[in-house]
Structure 1
Amino acid sequence: MAGRAVKPDNGRMTSTGGLSPATRQRLENELEQIREQRSALAARLGDDPLGDSADQAELLGRAEHASRLDQRIAEITDLLHGGPIPDSDSALPSGTQVTLKFADGSVEEMVVVGIAEEAGDDLSALTADSPLGKAIAGHKKGDKFTYRTPAGEASAEIVELKPPA
């Protein structure tokens, strides 16, 4: 299954590679469990209680839970099949290694991943769609940039930037 190319609805090719075998297996197991939960819940969604407002609230809660399950099914399916194609060609490809020097002088090595669990123990994970990942995109070694964090604006310099082999 890994490395197989698929054609999403928009007709452009994406790759299913990039996930470790352990992560791929975990995602496939989670997807199977969620689909089972969704199937069991679907049978109860058609129940139209004629009872009081508590019964109506329970039905609404089941519908909201089904919606969350559907969203997670879509997320996992995207991860297993290469995910949606980024809107921008400047997005960092998965597997890119970057070394950053932050304003406080600390230096950190990171790897761009589809999901945080893919980084392994040696490097910190960085997703391309995170504020830091978006800020690095389009820059090169030696560039300084700023990005937003929950604590406010931060800055860093790219010490090293290695695209995947």
Structure 2
Amino acid sequence: MANSRDFNPITAAGYRHIEDEIAALQADRPTKIAALAEARAHGDVSENADYSAAKRDLRHLESRLRFLNKQLQYARVVTPSSSPVVELGKWVTLRFADDEELETYQLVGTAEADLDAGKITRISPLGKALMGHRANDTVTVQSPNGSYQVTLLTVGLNPPEQ
């Protein structure tokens, strides 16, 4: 029996995203199988580039499906509370001490981290430093390249209005 330490926290949106990717891969699977069968029908598979490519594509799809299913198997959906404290699923706006620009991020589980989308993992140096803090707190972030400070301006359940 697994205990709570064996599970990975994830937001509900992150869980749905993985479910959607699994559904898309499962829908694409018959096409990949048909492409492999067609390439195999062309004769000698030892010198058949189409067969090798189709086999590789199907293997990649199956591998991705196994990975995503494991992600869901060990996921634990976390719903953020209405408290003013930074926790998984919350949106934060902050200002770096050496910069006047504001940055907005959502704290997410490791499976859903995407810096380009403003989603940082709770175990990243910045995520670790922010967890448990409130708006107007200044925190020190310990990163591999040294430490720096950020000031939390807002903490909320939704992204701030732009």
* TM range, smaller chain: 0.5 to 0.7
How many angstroms does 1:99 deviate by? 3.0
Q: Structure 1: how far apart are the matches of 2:95 and 2:89? A: 19
Aligned length: 132
Q: Structure 2: how far apart are the matches of 1:36 and 1:97? A: 33
Paired position in structure 1 for 2:99: 104
State the one-letter code of the partner of 1:61.
A
How many angstroms does 1:111 deviate by? 1.5
Paired position in structure 2 for 1:139: 129
5+ unaligned residues in a row in structure 1: which ranges?
A: 1-9, 85-91, 118-123
The structure-2 alpha-carbon separation of the partners of 1:66 and 1:158, relative to structure 1 and needing over 3 Å to count, comes to farther
Verify: 1:31 aligned to 2:22, yes or no.
yes
The structure-2 alpha-carbon separation of the partners of 1:108 and 1:52, relative to structure 1 and needing over 3 Å to count, comes to closer
Q: Structure 1: how far apart are the matches of 2:53 and 2:19? A: 26
The structure-2 alpha-carbon separation of the partners of 1:51 and 1:61, relative to structure 1 and needing over 3 Å to count, comes to closer
State the one-letter code of the partner of 1:138.
K
Decide whether the 8 Å contact of 1:17 with 1:82 is kept in 2: no
Q: Structure 2: how far apart are the matches of 1:116 and 1:62? A: 30
- State which structure, 1 or 2, has the greater radius of gyration over its C-alpha atoms: 2
Give the CA RMSD over aligned residues.
4.5
Residue-by-residue CA offset, 1:77-113 (whole Å, 9 max, x unaligned) = 35655638xxxxxxx9531333321232212232113
Verify: 1:65 aligned to 2:57, yes or no.
yes
Residue-by-residue CA offset, 1:94-142 (whole Å, 9 max, x unaligned) = 313333212322122321135369xxxxxx632317xxx6112432542
The structure with more helix, counted as a fraction of residues? 2
With normalisation by structure 2, the TM-score equals 0.52
Paired position in structure 1 for 2:134: none
Q: Which has the higher contact order (CA 8 A, sep 6+)?
A: 2
Larger deviation, residues 33-42 vs 71-80: 71-80
5+ unaligned residues in a row in structure 2: which ranges?
A: 77-85, 131-136, 158-162
How many angstroms does 1:72 deviate by? 3.2
Q: What percentage of aligned pairs have identical amino acids?
A: 14
